Chain A
Amino acid sequence: MSGDAALERLKREGRIVVVGASLAGLRAAETLREKGFSGSLTMIGDEPHEPYDRPPLSKQVLLGKATADRTALPRRLDIDAKWRLGVPAAGLDMKARRVRLADGDEVEYDRLLIATGVRARPWPKPEEGSLDGVFVLRTRDDGAALERALAAGPGRVLVIGAGFTGSEIASACRERGLAVTVAERGDAPLVGALGGVVGAVAAEMHRENGVDLRTGIMVTALEGDSSGRVRAAHLSDGTTLEAEVVVVSLGAQRNTEWLTGSGLGAGPRGIACDAGCRAFDIWGIVTDDIYVAGDVARSPHALFGYQFLSLEHWGNAVAQAETAAHNMLSESAERRPHVWVPAFWSSQFGVNIKSVGVPSMGTEIVITQGSRAERRFVGVYGYQGRVIGAVTFDQCRWLDFYEQQIEQTAPFPPPYSTVDRRPEGNRPLDADFPDPSIPTHGPTITLSGYSPADRRMKFTPAHN
């Protein structure tokens, strides 16, 4: 049978299974139907809810301006799927092309899309993490529970970790008039993603808004009272802090455990795939029937030295899902690469923070517009003489321009003089990223080459 006929048959009567019923899974499913897939489509999700949007959970939901149960994603069309919600996938048999579910059921596929995403990294000590009043924020249920706790007016909230989510939570607490302490292991908020120069601006924003920001500090233990409610936190400087609500905001872990032993190239850093979203097996051989998209995928990016990027970005989930869906139904010559330029946003303390490219790859930064003192500026990141990323604080209309600069591998520092060059912008500064080998809350972009910690197989060279 010719390839064309097989593809036509797949489109007409094939079975496609999507594991992960969130933004990436939903957008992929919609794209499959748009491209004329009329076979059976099964959507598997571990949460009982239909696909919903997460960004509002740390913003309007925590502010009490929208409720967590009303963030379901709009549908572009009816995807006519069989939904298996509230039951996680538990295993994959690549040979038999079957996904095993936690309830013992099995679902067969001709093409599989894995979009299982990430989950909140829990507090490392489970008995402390399960105290009443200790939260993480990732899911809709997390958002609803945390909002309820904040609405009750706790005496003090402790946020552990000052990445984007932690900072947004602290911002929402202040807006609600709650006393909040932020404990961050690094030297400043957001340092993992944006470096110390911009982190210093973020730190000032926290303090100006009344956050008790403590950097260079770790929470060593959480203490509960006799009824199992969190009461206090012990810090690495020897002090004790009383808090009624503790939010653990230590980044995310990839949902790949269910693939252990499947033979797929999946691990703590995600599932490796080619630029066309096809998953690799553990030998680095590309599969032809298994695709990956969203936070859980790691794919090589031509603009960034072919490093395997894993992006916890909303826009990446959408773009990669659409590319994966397109490629699932295409002949090899019609497949297209996922070469999305990373981009994300955050909103905290009334300031709109947006970024393009991979700032954390940069070694230097230059302020090309505005000024840090005004909390309104553009910072451009340089790496080996080229523009590699940019961040804006309340200057988002410049981002398209810098996205083009990144795509064109424009020289750094930028040679042009701009309309708004302040004295502080003339000179590149050390971007001041922390040593990546020191654990912190972690950037949302993982520059993930081979990790020596991932000892999954033993390489034995051939001997004569």
Chain B
Amino acid sequence: MRLVVDLNRCQGYAQCAFLAPDVFAMHGDESLLYDPQPDEEHRENVVRAVHACPVRAILLDAMNGSLSTAEARGER
């Protein structure tokens, strides 16, 4: 599972850190640190965090896995 937080949008409401504390954590009063590739077991909490974010700053992957092996090797 991959995610990215648009920190331009993030306003430090900390809903994500409350709902998925293993993935998101506040660092100081406003800054957010997060694990960009959390383990699958946290998905349910992360999905909750995505929906709870008041500014919709969390983007979660819509497709599973990474590039296929052939692509990763750079083959056409």
Residues of A within 8 A of B (CB): 42, 48, 50, 53, 55-56, 59-60, 63, 65-66, 70-78, 81-87, 314-315, 318, 343-345, 347, 349-352, 354, 376, 394, 396-397
Q: Which residue numbers of B lie inside 8 Å of A, CB to CB? A: 2-4, 6-8, 10-12, 25, 27-31, 33-37, 59-63, 66-67, 71-72, 74, 76
A87 to B74 alpha-carbon distance, docked (Å):
8
A83 and B36: CB pair below 8 A?
Answer: no
Which residue of B is nearest A45, CB measured? Answer: B74
B72 touches A72 (CB 8 A): no
8 A-B residue pairs with CB within 8 Å: A63-B33, A70-B36, A72-B2, A73-B4, A76-B59, A83-B74, A343-B8, A397-B11
CA distance A343 to B28 in the complex (A): 21
Nearest B residue to A107 via CB reads: B76
- Quick one: given A50-B72, A73-B4, A82-B76, are A65 and B29 in contact (CB under 8 Å)? no
Q: How far is the CB of A77 from chain B (nearest CB, A)?
A: 6
A55 to B6 CA separation, bound complex (whole angstroms): 10
Residues of A within 8 A of B66 (CB): 50, 72
The answer on a CB contact under 8 Å between A66 and B37 is: yes
Given contact pairs A65-B33, A352-B28, A394-B30, A48 touches B74 in the complex (Cβ within 8 A):
yes
A60-B62 Cα distance, complex, nearest whole Å: 24
Give the Cβ gap from A140 to chain B, nearest Cβ, in Å.
11
Question: Are A70 and B37 in contact, CB atoms less than 8 angstroms apart?
Answer: yes
Q: Which residues of A contact B10 (CB under 8 A)?
A: 345, 396
Q: Which residue of A lies closest to B9 (CB)?
A: A315
User: In the bound complex, what is the Cα–Cα distance between A82 and B76 (angstroms)?
Assistant: 5
Chain A residues with CB below 8 A from B2, complex form: 72-75
- Taking a contact as CB atoms closer than 8 A, the residue among B33, B61, B71 that contacts A83 in the complex is B71
